[in-house]
Structure 1
Amino acid sequence: MSRRCQPAPESELLILGLGNLLMGDDGLGVYAAEKLLPFRHPPKIDIVDGGTSLLFYLEQISRSRRLLVIDALLGNEPPGSLYRIDLDDISEGTDSFRTAHGIALSDVIALARSHTGFPSQVTIIGAEPLDCHPSIGLSPPVAAALPLLVEQVVHEIRIHCNQKENVLVRPVGTS
């Protein structure tokens, strides 16, 4: 019996913001990623505006030890409600994350893991949308939740980096 050698990941943490900026609140993950991009962050942490194409990032996902996805999530709570979900806690066969992005997140993760064994952990952070119809910008409740969502992602990064308070530094002149 031959053993497959698992390659070392190129990224410790990949943060992937998903969404369509032309579909109102569906653009949430992209807006969040854009807010995080100016931060100086440790090496081996990548922040990516993934838009609507999960498959385009399959190779990068398969080379990341941990994946944190930011997206609009339907959970039947009031608009702007925040969610944090560990993908492995969701029962198999659930199509909960088959959205406008064309393929289920769980399918992309399964493909990535079949190649490299990574990512070993997948977390989804998002907010309940109000309106995902053609429009530009976030609805008021989702826009109000965006800073809290970004802080939740920053908290996840700090946990990943062993609770270092200065793990992310805002660039000079930003709030």
Structure 2
Amino acid sequence: MENNTETFQYTTDKFLSSGNDILILGIGNYLMGDEGVGVQFIHHLDTTEFPENVSFLDGGTGGFTLVPYIESHPHVIIVDATMDEKEEGTITLLKPKFSDDFPISLSGHNFGLKDMVDILSFMDKMPNIYLFTITISKMEPMYLELSPKVAEAIPKVTEMVLDLVQKIRKEN
């Protein structure tokens, strides 16, 4: 799969004023093994497979710094790791509207995402959020590789995200 990294070269001003209506956001800590599956997902994407007006962002460990990016898009698709005791590599799609709708079992940066959603709700700037979680069984500090089952989930979640983007486009 070819990696088109041109999309990741946006400056903040260009990204926020781009007019793109869908943000695809990978969350996670690249240095914690499977916990970084969201950012690994973003970096493995072939962005040329997606229609125009879609933004892609490595959101790292999330938090308040992502608020301007999220509030500037009416639709946000997030990919993140979760420790929900399902089989490793399981993909789940959620449509959270409030911070309490996020799974308790989101991995290490759980509080940053929930706080961000609370801020967006308070400011009445909450977009449509779609959260794809990929089940992991452990976090390994200072480890860059994904376990085999989690790595196998990346092409599957990529297809699911592409299908969702097309569905959103048809509905709008």
TM, length-normalised to structure 1: 0.76
User: What is the alpha-carbon distance in structure 1 between the residues aligned to residue 90 and residue 146 of structure 2?
Assistant: 14
Q: Which digits, 9 at most, give the CA deviation of each residue in 1:65-115, with x for residues without a partner?
A: 111110011221111111111113x78387616642263423212212333
Higher helix share: 2
Equivalences for 1:9-48 in 2 at 5 Å? 10-36=19-45, 38-39=47-48, 41-48=50-57
What is the letter of the counterpart of residue 28 of structure 1? V
User: Is residue 55 of structure 1 aligned with residue 64 of structure 2?
Assistant: yes
What is the letter of the counterpart of residue 140 of structure 2? H
Residue 59 of structure 1 and its aligned partner are, at CA, apart by: 0.8
Residue 51 of structure 1 and its aligned partner are, at CA, apart by: 1.0
Contact (CA 8 Å) 2:92, 2:132: kept in 1 or not?
yes
Equivalences for 1:142-153 in 2 at 5 Å? 142-153=150-161
Counterpart of 2:84? 75
User: What is the alpha-carbon distance in structure 2 between the residues aligned to residue 84 and residue 72 of structure 1?
Assistant: 12
User: What is the alpha-carbon distance in structure 1 between the residues aligned to residue 147 and residue 22 of structure 2?
Assistant: 29
Paired residue secondary structure (1:69): strand
The percent identity for this pair of structures is: 25
RMSD (Å), alpha carbons: 2.5
Q: Structure 2 residue aligned with 1:107, among 98, 115, 128?
A: 115
Which sections of structure 1, spanning at least 5 residues, go unmatched? Answer: 1-8, 164-175
Distance 1:13 1:87, change over 3 A: same
Q: Which digits, 9 at most, give the CA deviation of each residue in 1:15-37, with x for residues without a partner?
A: 11001111010110011111225
Which sections of structure 2, spanning at least 5 residues, go unmatched? Answer: 1-17
Q: Which digits, 9 at most, give the CA deviation of each residue in 1:106-154, with x for residues without a partner?
A: 32122123335231x1111021113311211100111122211111111
User: What is the alpha-carbon distance in structure 1 between the residues aligned to residue 112 and residue 26 of structure 2?
Assistant: 15
Paired residue secondary structure (1:64): coil
- Aligned residues between the structures: 153
Q: Which runs of 4 or more aligned residues in structure 1 lie more than 6 Å from their structure 2 counterparts after TM superposition?
A: none
Counterpart of 1:118? 126
TM, length-normalised to structure 2: 0.77
Q: Rg: which structure is higher?
A: 1
Distance 1:93 1:80, change over 3 A: closer
Counterpart of 1:130? 137
